[in-house]
Amino acid sequence: MAKREPVRREERGQPTPETLAKLVIDPLLALEPEYQRAVIEIRDAYTIITAPVAARLQRLTPDAIGQRNHESPREMELQRRYNDWVDEMHRYRMPVIFILDAIIDHDLPVPEIKNRMEKIIEAMMLYCRLHPRALRSIDVGDSC
């Protein structure tokens, strides 16, 4: 195998968008551990809920929806907790879309997330109040 030759810094090209995305630290994962777990659960639940639509959009076929006809108990529980949280957010007149956009959209600029941080923390506090025992049992690295 040929040895890779080092490249001088000034000769390097610009990083790809994928490389830049990997270098951006998710500010929501700098929250308190309990809130980090809430963020991860909400992201997982959102992914589960929207997966059939995403699959259909990717395949552009009418039979793409419904290909996955069962969900695990963990997936069903995540969806239930997510739905409870969204219902409570509506009850308290909290800006659901504003919060979800910051939690789900990994392309949102960091300054924009920081502008929303107070509302995000309020929303994570609500999630944690609704599901305190469930969040204690999940490792931050655990994901669907």
Residue 94 inside a domain? The answer is yes
**Residue 76 within any structural domain of the chain:** yes
- Residue 54 covered by a domain: yes
Range of the domain at 69: 31-136
Tens-binned pLDDT, residue by residue, of the chain (144 aa): 667 776 676 667 777 777 766 666 788 888 899 999 999 999 999 999 988 776 555 555 555 444 555 788 999 999 999 999 999 999 999 999 999 998 988 677 878 888 889 999 999 999 999 988 766 554 444 433
The answer to the question of residue 11 being in a domain is no
Domains: count for the chain: 1
* 46 is a domain residue: yes
Q: Give the predicted TM-score (pTM) of the model.
A: 0.69
Contact 105, 27 (CB under 8 A): no
Tokens of 39: 């963020």
